[in-house]
Structure 1
Amino acid sequence: MLILRPSLLFVFLLTFGTFFEVAAQDAAPDVSIQGYRIGPGDEITGKVLGEPQFDFVSTVDEDGRISVPFVDDPVTARCLTERELRTEVNKLLSRYLRNPQTNIRVTQRNSRPPVSIYGEVKQQGQVPLTRRAYLLELITYAGGPTDKSGGSIQVFRTRPQVCPGEVTETWADSGVAVPSKTYSLNNMRQGVEGSNPEILPGDVIIVQKASPVYITGEVLRPGEFSIPEGGLPLMQAIAMASGLTREAKSKRINIYRRKEGSVEPEVIEVDYNAIKNGEEKEVLLQPNDIVDVGKAKKSFMDVLYEAAIGIPNRVPLPVLRPF
């Protein structure tokens, strides 16, 4: 029985752990060619066992055909797999050879441009496809959405299918040069039917950035905040801004909202306390809303108190001394 010393065992695990890690990384959507269907621009290499004069390298033309030595007419290769094309070539060469054994390989796959993934994903770039792949898989392969993602994903279909029936979903002709569809990341994760489409080579995927809202005034962390998929309630937005300050005028918060066809914004007055206590309905913010939290007026006693304890940027009351 072979017993590994601890040091050797560590080296063994480290070496093979690295191997399996690399193998897992290589298992991207572009590694499998099983079932790949040939298209225009692909380079086909054919070798006939024991008959080198019949070997060939041919590029699939725009009509989907290749040239094979000693075969007068071009051979249709479009939408065939390597195995199907091998059967066809063997059949044609059997006119000249007894039981020909042909090896067919797609040595350059030029008919399937890569899928492009842009927008709010952690790793933008291009992914070559040689097997069926779906939208959620490719978003995950790109590192997933960033924190600024709004959960809306747009897919542009830049070219028609190479082979009819490659995907079951049909895109109606909308009259635009590059048709597109929008999908919900939440729906995909929940497995909603039709929310995770098959992606074709050449498709462009754009993960949309979330629309912003702006919170200013008497909050602890004013600034720009993103509206997540599903919307952003006012209470949640103020929580994202770390809450109200002590001086906030919580009973009257103004929301400035763009008004279609007008340069003047719509002003919505909200009672934060009433919403918090369940006395009024929550307000759902819209893209580009400006939430302005005003400062409450202080009573005379509040001013005296702040001056007495020496709040920064305040002038303290003079200390009274006996004569």
Structure 2
Amino acid sequence: MRKRFTILLFGLSLFSGLAAGQSNIGPGNPNLQPGAAPAAPVSVKIGPGDLISIWVFDVPELNQSVRVGADGKAEMSLIGSTAVAGLTPQQAAALVARELRDRHFLLKPQVNVMIDESAAQGVSVVGEVQHPGVYQVLGPRTLLDVISMAGGLTSVANTKVSVTRRNGRTESISANLKNDDPRSAVSNDVQVFPGDLVMVPRAGIVYVLGDVNRPGGFVMQDNGAITMLQALAQAGGTDRTASPNSALLMRKDAHGYVTQKVAITRIERGKEQDVELRPDDILFVPNSRFKNALRDTQSVATSIGSASIYAIVH
């Protein structure tokens, strides 16, 4: 009888161990074992601004994600404000378990803590900003704040910004980052977190050269929408010695530039449709004395090469 009882106890304990090993702890990791925190090495410590996940085995109501405050404390269900900064995830798990037990909420709590976002990672800002680099932030900040940390945008920055999240997901965000009133910027609603990458691409530039009043390169504002007449207006219009109906539009393709003749006067009078320009397009307006000499692409390219191309900052 005693032998059968011993075997029965052994079988029950073995079954309990297997059942515990197959239990799910939290929705993020169905195979995570109680007492383990695989997301961070033992040497990694929790710091202010970190986002941590707390999983209590078999009590899903207490599973939560909390942000550690600047004072090093995290506000947790039942046990309230708890100092966790400077602790490893394992030490924090032991602290939470002890608090739950000592306050008689749970008899034998099994707790896991893992770091979801580390403020020590900072936010990387690259591209067309004054000072690209990694900037430390505690918790979420607005996109506008982060770009301000990087010194603001350059004169040729695009208004469409991409944010790559820590999990690898990329968001393309159209934000009015050059608006004089930051409160009206769409970017105020965009949150950036530690570990994110902010990429500010270069805006497209079109060139208006030749016999115009202000030849040069012009940044394509409003997310890249600009027509030939709009670009010509930014260049101050044609000079009185120009031959606008002999203008040339040069557009880059895989083999170089393709040239087509455009009649600016006919477009201005509504007899022909205005042309939507693309980045790196070149509009060349010849002088009436040289229009016959600039028929071929090579002559136009020589004239463009000798021109001073510069970006006009608005």
The TM-score range, normalised by the shorter chain, is: 0.5 to 0.7
The AA in structure 1 aligned to 2:170 is: S
Query: Deviation per CA, 1:256-309, whole angstroms, max 9, x where unpaired?
Result: 11234xx253323222122223332221111111211112139xxxxxxxxxxx
For residues 130-279 of structure 1, the aligned pairs below 5 Å read: 130-140=138-148, 142-157=150-165, 159-160=166-167, 178-186=168-176, 196-228=189-221, 229-260=223-254, 263=255, 265-279=257-271
In structure 2, C-alpha distance between the alignment counterparts of 1:280 and 1:237, rounded to whole Å: 17
- How has the CA–CA distance of structure 1 residues 197 and 268 changed in structure 2, closer, same or farther, with 3 Å as cutoff? same
Once superposed, what is the RMSD of the aligned Cα atoms?
4.0
Residue 205 of structure 1, CA deviation: 0.5
Counterpart amino acid of residue 75 in structure 1: A
Task: After superposition, give the CA deviation of every residue in 1:67-124 in whole Å (9 maximum; x if it has no partner).
Answer: 7xxxxxx527xxxxxxxx5xx55445569xxxxxxxxxxxxx9554111222223454
Q: 2:121 & 2:270 partners in 1: Cα distance?
A: 55
- Greater helix share, structure number: 2
Deviations 1:163-216 (A, max 9, x none): xxxxxxxxxxxxxxx442322124998777x99543221111111111222222
Aligned pairs, how many?
203
**1:27-176 aligned within 5 A:** 37-38=51-52, 59-60=87-88, 64-66=89-91, 75=94, 85=96, 89-92=98-101, 112-140=120-148, 142-157=150-165, 159-160=166-167
Give the C-alpha shift of residue 58 in structure 1. 5.2
Distance 1:279 1:195 in 2: 44
Residues 213-266 of structure 1 show CA distances to partners (whole Å, capped at 9, x for unaligned) of 222221233232222224122122223223322221111211011234xx2533
2:280 corresponding residue in structure 1: 288
In structure 2, the CA distance between the partners of 1:38 and 1:241, relative to structure 1 (3 Å rule), is same
Change (3 A) 1:222 1:91: same
Q: 2: CA distance between counterparts of 1:205 and 1:199?
A: 8
What CA distance in whole angstroms lies between the structure 1 residues aligned with 2:172 and 2:194?
A: 18
Once residues 225 and 119 of structure 2 are traced to their aligned partners in structure 1, the CA distance between those partners, rounded to angstroms, is 41
Equivalent in the alignment of 1:105 = none
Secondary structure of 2:270's aligned partner: coil
3-state DSSP class of the match of 1:65? helix
SS in structure 1 at match of 2:286: strand
The CA distance in 2 between the partners of 1:57 and 1:239, in whole Å, is: 59
**What is the CA–CA distance in structure 2 between the aligned matches of 1:198 and 1:187, rounded to whole Å?**
14
Which amino acid is the alignment partner of residue 279 of structure 1?
K
| Aligned counterparts of 1:122 and 1:264: Cα–Cα separation in 2 | 32
> Given the superposition, is the C-alpha separation of residues 90 and 293 from structure 1 closer, same or farther in structure 2, using an over 3 Å criterion?
same
Identity %: 26
- Aligned to 1:210, the other structure's residue is in SS state coil
Residue by residue over 1:32-60, the C-alpha shift from the partner in whole angstroms, topping out at 9 and shown as x without a partner, is x6x863479x9x989xxxxxxxx998532
Q: Cα gap change, 1:36/1:253 in structure 2, threshold over 3 Å: closer, same or farther?
A: same
Contact 1:39 / 1:111 at 8 angstroms: preserved in 2? Answer: no
2:169 & 2:102 partners in 1: Cα distance? 44
**Equivalent residue for 2:108?**
none
Whichever residue aligns with residue 284 of structure 2, its letter is: D
TM-score (structure 2 length as normaliser): 0.52
